[in-house]
């Protein structure tokens, strides 16, 4: 068994009194097959982040075994079990079940199902993100390799769903095209056409949308779980 998965089972038993592959899958709202795959490949970064939120174990400890099992923060933005004086500064950002594809596209769910949330400091958000409306921030998972090295498979992205106009701000957006979700870089060309591209130079693709596509811009990616500001 992969060491990170062994640590996950250890933490689930110690902190939540939960044992076994199926029970851990239910606790993390993952499929049993996903957790089974972790036994061979190791816990994904997205899975470690979910475990940090649900179980209270440090994601960094799960992935590397370094540092304490609980306590501390994995990034300056994410705060867990804060002191009472800090409670008023926290904003709970929902984590959606919908995920964006950095590849062939993921099917869109019939609603924005919330599977959890993360607490962010409103001071940090206003300092680093500066959204138009702090309540329009959402977390989603990203899967695939087409946006590497900007994002990696399994990264969790912070999306501003109030920022939907690539003509105002060029960047990386979550797009719905023909009922599938994609995470792509978007820019408006001089002729007014929308150019959609991938960052991975090995599989880089560029599409120019002429208005015939059934496309909706759902939001702009503003931060990645790997600590990259967009």
Please state the three-class secondary structure of 143-157 as a single string. EECCCCCCCCCCCEE
- My answer on whether 37 and 92 are in the same domain is no
Start-to-end C-alpha separation, the chain: 36
Q: How far does CA 68 lie from the centroid of its chain? A: 24
Mean pLDDT across 145-163 = 86
* CATH label of the domain that carries residue 14: 1.10.260.40
* CATH label of the domain that carries residue 213: 2.10.109.10
Domain that holds residue 88: 84-224
Of the listed ranges 58-62, 73-77, 107-111, the least confidently predicted one is 73-77
- Answering whether pTM is above 0.75, one says no
At residue 48, the 3 state secondary structure works out as helix
- My answer on whether 105 and 141 are in the same domain is yes
> Residue 7 falls within a domain, yes or no?
yes
- My answer on whether 127 and 193 are in the same domain is yes
- My answer on whether 60 and 157 are in the same domain is no
- My answer on whether 109 and 196 are in the same domain is yes
Banded model confidence at residue 45, pLDDT cuts 50, 70, 90:
confident
- My answer on whether 135 and 176 are in the same domain is yes
> Residue 70 falls within a domain, yes or no?
no
> Residue 108 falls within a domain, yes or no?
yes
- My answer on whether 147 and 41 are in the same domain is no
- My answer on whether 212 and 130 are in the same domain is yes
If one compares 103 and 40, the residue with the highest pLDDT of the two is 40
- My answer on whether 192 and 107 are in the same domain is yes
Banded model confidence at residue 46, pLDDT cuts 50, 70, 90:
confident
* Res 43: pLDDT: 92
How many structural domains compose the chain? 2
Question: Hey, how many other C-beta atoms are within 10 angstroms of the C-beta on 161?
Answer: 19
pLDDT at 84 over 70: no
pLDDT in tens, 91-147: 888 877 666 666 565 555 444 545 567 777 888 888 888 888 988 999 888 888 888
- My answer on whether 41 and 93 are in the same domain is no
- My answer on whether 99 and 42 are in the same domain is no
pLDDT at 74 over 70: no
- My answer on whether 176 and 110 are in the same domain is yes
> Residue 72 falls within a domain, yes or no?
no
């Amino acid at each position: 068994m992969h060491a990170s998965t062994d640590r996950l089972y250890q933490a689930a038993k110690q902190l939540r009194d939960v044992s076994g592959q199926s029970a851990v899958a239910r606790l993390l709202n993952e499929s049993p097959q996903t957790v089974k795959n972790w036994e061979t490949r190791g816990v994904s970064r997205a899975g470690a982040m979910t475990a940090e939120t649900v179980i209270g174990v440090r994601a960094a400890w799960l992935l590397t075994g370094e540092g304490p099992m609980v306590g501390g923060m994995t990034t300056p933005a994410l705060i867990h079990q804060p002191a009472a004086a800090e409670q008023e500064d926290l904003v709970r950002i929902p984590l959606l079940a919908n995920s964006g594809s950095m590849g062939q596209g993921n099917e869109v769910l019939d609603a924005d199902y919330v599977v959890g949330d993360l607490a962010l400091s409103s001071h940090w958000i206003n300092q680093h993100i500066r959204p138009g409306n702090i309540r329009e921030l959402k977390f989603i998972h990203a899967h695939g390799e087409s946006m590497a090295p900007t994002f990696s498979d399994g990264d969790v992205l912070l999306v501003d769903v109030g920022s939907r106009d690539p003509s105002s701000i060029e960047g990386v957006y979550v797009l719905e095209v023909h009922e599938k979700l994609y995470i792509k870089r978007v820019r408006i060309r001089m002729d007014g056409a929308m150019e959609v591209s991938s960052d991975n130079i090995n599989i880089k693709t560029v599409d120019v949308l002429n208005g015939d596509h059934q496309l909706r811009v759902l939001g702009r990616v503003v931060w990645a779980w790997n600590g990259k500001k967009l």
